[in-house]
């Protein structure tokens, strides 16, 4: 029987902890109250799901939960594009002294049995030798980020590896999932997650029983036997039927079970008072062969000398020609493939609208080609004024259009893109005001939310990262000097 006032259900929406504050390195970070409440909820069950809306800091919650249970060996499974981001978040949030991390970037990296955190992609998890090595380690905690990756009810390869009862469950003390979209499309997509975390939450239903409980009969396509009069043969193929179990029902009961037993979930509007109006997220990119090659361009040596002599050397911009300009273009081209992966993950996580900007036509062409299938509109310096307005209107009003991609100057020249809250600066400018101008396009009257996130790709431990760190610090200082409430 559904009881909306059930204590555990109420705590699944809590924005403040009752009595427990999870450990965190206070000299580095300050968690939000709702994050502390999420960890408090998690400690009341053996395994759980952080289902907070995208952008609310589920990674930090997972790591603070590890702090709370004093996990010494944690396995993090995440999309390939997020492995280095996880490493950095662990360095920020873990309370383990001199915490050690081991991101597995390729199969020949092997597995370190001694690292506090081992970080691996879903794809590499299926590698037989890597999987065998992982199963030889006793893990205190296993975290599955973007856990909608195991949504396939028929069990794709990654699902079979993670959910097989005789593989990871015997060698893992606690399992934590993180996903703001555990139901991307249909109720059945959460079945694997619930069964992995607490099968009793759905009364140990089989997959067929779950389907019978949460779907009614309707019309649709189904694969089944179709008799061909002409050939007098029966073939199995997709055909329309008025007798398909495909209409979701009893969703209030499903939510009740999820919240009571395994899931904490808060929406942005519940916690906006704790979110700053503008957030910058530097996301680290893996050092691919193309990025490594681009960083060898002599223009970077020129830039490094200038920057070391005078950190303000690029405050007024970068020359539009010459070695440095060529070096920046080649790096933008080398980063583009990783940025595509990152944008795809943002969409998979549940973001419905994203602004993506770049500078060079070659980078824009690559992004336009690879992201087109997600639903995209485009503008650059050659787009007519009338066409630009059409592009903006389509992005603002058409739910099938997820991305507006454009050259930085024309896209940032005054448009209102208020349906978005996230901007991916594929080629961020070295002048803070130009990046801020892009974020201002979505931080407008009528914005769907009350905060803005600027995602900035950087190559770790390079001049690229040093300069962009400086750029963001300058932008934050401008905000403190002019706009932060006194």
The pTM of this model reads: 0.81
Fold classified for 7-214+250-271 = Rossmann fold (3.40.50)
pLDDT digits (tens, 9 = 90+) for 467-476: 888 777 776 6
Better-predicted residue by pLDDT, 80 or 317: 80
User: What does the alpha-carbon distance between residue 138 and residue 142 come to, in Å, rounded to a whole number?
Assistant: 10
Domains 7-214+250-271 and 276-482 share a fold: yes
Tokens of 457: 């790709």
Kind and range of the H or E element at 357?
Answer: strand 354-358
Taking alpha carbons only, the member of 212, 215, 196, 256 closest to residue 12 is 256
Q: Which two tokens stand for residue 310?
A: 């005078």
Token output for 343: 């944008």
Mean pLDDT to the nearest integer, 132-145: 95
DSSP 8-state symbol, 47 = S
Tokens 């970070």 correspond to what residue?
A: 29
Does the pLDDT at position 102 exceed 90?
A: yes
Q: For residues 107 and 112, what is the distance between their CA atoms, to the nearest angstrom?
A: 12
Once rounded to an integer, what is the mean pLDDT over residues 245-258? 88
Smallest CA-to-CA distance from 269 within 34, 7, 90 is with 34
Q: How far is CA 297 from CA 300, 325, 329, 466, in A?
A: 6, 11, 11, 17
Structure-block tokens of residue 382? 């050659």
CA 26 to chain centre: 25
Q: Residue 395's pLDDT is what?
A: 92
Give dist(CA 426, CA 115) in Å, integer: 32
> Structure tokens of 485?
């409430």
Is 444 a residue whose pLDDT tops 50? no
Residue-wise burial string across 437-469, b where 16 or more C-beta atoms lie within 10 A, e elsewhere: bbbbbbbeeebebebbbbbbbbbeebbbbebbe
Q: What are phi and psi of 96, to 5 degrees?
A: -70, 125
218/239: higher pLDDT: 218
Predicted local distance difference test score (pLDDT) of residue 315 = 65
More confident site: 428 or 140: 140
Is the pLDDT confidence value at 478 over 70? Answer: no
User: CB–CB of 83/119 below 8 Å?
Assistant: yes
Highest mean pLDDT among 11-25, 293-307, 374-388: 11-25
CB 343 within 8 Å of CB 424: yes
Question: What is the model's pLDDT at position 25?
Answer: 97
Average pLDDT, rounded, for the chain? 86
Query: According to the model, what pLDDT value does residue 54 have?
Result: 81
Phi-psi region of 110 (alpha: psi -120 to 50; beta: other; left: phi over 0): left
Which CATH architecture does the domain made up of 276-482 adopt?
Answer: 3-Layer(aba) Sandwich (3.40)
* In the chain, where the domains are located: 7-214+250-271, 276-482
Average pLDDT over residues 166-185: 88
pLDDT of 466 higher than 90: no
């Amino acid at each position: 029987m559904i009881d909306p006032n059930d204590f555990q259900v109420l705590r699944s929406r809590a924005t403040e902890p009752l009595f427990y504050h999870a450990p965190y390195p206070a000299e580095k970070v300050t968690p939000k109250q709702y994050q502390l409440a999420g960890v408090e909820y998690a400690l009341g069950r053996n395994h759980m799901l952080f289902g907070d809306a995208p952008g609310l800091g589920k990674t930090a919650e997972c790591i603070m939960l590890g702090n709370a249970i004093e996990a010494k060996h944690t396995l993090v499974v995440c999309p390939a594009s997020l492995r280095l981001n996880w490493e950095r978040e662990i360095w920020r949030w873990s309370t383990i002294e001199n915490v050690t991390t081991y991101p597995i970037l390729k199969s020949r990296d092997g597995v370190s049995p001694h690292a506090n955190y081992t970080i691996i992609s879903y794809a590499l998890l299926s590698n037989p030798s890597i999987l065998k090595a992982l199963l030889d380690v006793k893990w205190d905690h296993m975290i599955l980020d973007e856990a909608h990756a195991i949504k396939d009810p028929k069990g794709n390869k990654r699902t079979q590896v993670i959910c097989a009862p005789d593989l990871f469950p015997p060698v893992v003390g606690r399992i934590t999932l993180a996903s703001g979209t555990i139901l991307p499309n249909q109720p059945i997509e959460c079945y694997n997650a619930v069964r992995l975390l607490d099968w009793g939450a759905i009364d140990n239903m089989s997959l067929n029983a779950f389907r019978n409980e949460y779907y009614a009969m309707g019309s649709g396509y189904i694969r089944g036997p179709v008799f061909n009069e002409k050939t007098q043969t029966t073939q199995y193929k997709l055909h329309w039927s008025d007798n398909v179990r495909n209409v979701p029902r009893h969703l209030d009961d499903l939510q009740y079970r999820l919240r009571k037993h395994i899931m904490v979930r808060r929406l942005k509007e519940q916690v906006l008072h704790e979110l700053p109006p503008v957030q910058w997220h530097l996301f680290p990119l893996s050092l691919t062969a193309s990025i490594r090659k681009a960083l060898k361009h002599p223009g970077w040596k020129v830039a490094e000398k200038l920057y070391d002599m005078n950190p303000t050397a690029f405050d007024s911009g970068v020359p539009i020609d010459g070695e440095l300009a060529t070096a920046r273009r080649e790096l933008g081209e080398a980063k583009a493939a990783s940025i595509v992966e990152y944008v795809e993950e943002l969409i998979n996580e549940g973001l419905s609208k994203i602004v993506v900007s770049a500078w060079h036509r070659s980078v824009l062409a690559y992004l336009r080609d690879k992201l087109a299938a997600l639903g995209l509109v485009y503008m650059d310096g050659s787009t007519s004024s009338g066409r630009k307005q059409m592009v903006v209107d389509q992005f603002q009003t058409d739910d099938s259009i997820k991305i507006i991609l454009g050259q930085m100057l024309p896209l940032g020249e005054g448009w209102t893109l208020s349906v978005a809250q996230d901007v991916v600066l594929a080629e961020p400018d070295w002048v803070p005001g130009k990046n801020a101008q892009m974020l201002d396009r979505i931080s407008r009257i009528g914005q769907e939310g009350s905060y803005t996130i600027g995602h900035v790709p950087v190559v770790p431990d390079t001049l690229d990262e040093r300069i962009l760190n400086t750029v963001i610090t300058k932008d934050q200082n401008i905000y403190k000097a002019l706009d932060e409430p006194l």
